[in-house]
Amino acid sequence: MSTEIAILTEEYLEQCIDIAKAKAKISGIRTEFTQKTQEFITGCLTPNDKSCSIGYIEDGALHSWISLGFAEGPKDGKVWAITALYTRDIGNYFSFNNLKIGLLTKKAFEIAEGNKYYTYYYSISNRLERVYETQWKKNKLGFHGRYDMSLVAVIPPNTKPESEIYWRLMGQELRPESIAIKCRVLKPEFREQ
């Protein structure tokens, strides 16, 4: 069995769409696959200096993939986010220790840190917030202890946030549950000198 983590391009479009249709969720909330979703995925597979997608490939077949978005702003400097995460192999709960997700996530952090993006934003349903934090602490891939976390905002149900980055983290759709916007900043001692 051969496995690899690779940068994805348009040649993986159909496989990416199939995986997204099977388990469409944003911030831990089930969503419908729409034309907008398909357009987003197509955009994810065009690598540039503001985004890229990476996939876990096993024996030539894509099993999981994530997309990374990079931005620079006057307030936060260089920030990044995982803008999409899809897998065929997720069970009842998310875990960084799921090899196909964990290795992708580890590679995402390596790419971001290697390009000196040290501030990571993400959104999560308030209902799943504690589960995610527990999984973060239990991961065996080296994230725990390297980042300081802070809660940036809580977006009430069915509310569009004023911040464009928060709106993008929510998949640019209203959510029926409260969404926590969080930020993790790499501690100075772990940054490239």
Beta strand segments in the chain, E: 3-7, 25-26, 29-30, 51-58, 61-73, 77-87, 119-125, 147-155, 179-186
The CATH number given to whatever domain includes residue 71 is 3.40.630.30
Q: What is the pLDDT of residues 71-90, one digit of tens each?
A: 987 777 899 998 888 887 76
Tell me the whole-structure pTM to 2 decimals.
0.85
**N-term to C-term CA, the chain:** 38
Residue numbers of the domain that contains 172: 3-190
Q: Predicted confidence band at 27 (pLDDT cuts at 50, 70, 90)?
A: very low
Find where tokens 């998949």 sit: 171
pLDDT for 163 equals 86
Q: How many domains does the chain have?
A: 1
pLDDT at 96 over 70: no
100 and 164 Cβ atoms separated by less than 8 Å:
no
67 touches 153 (CB < 8 A)? no
58-70 pLDDT tens trace: 998 999 899 999 9
- Over the stretch 123-180, which tens digit does the pLDDT of each residue have? 888 888 887 787 777 777 767 789 999 999 999 999 999 888 888 888 778 888 899 9
Q: Which two tokens stand for residue 140?
A: 């065996």
Whole-number average pLDDT of the chain:
84
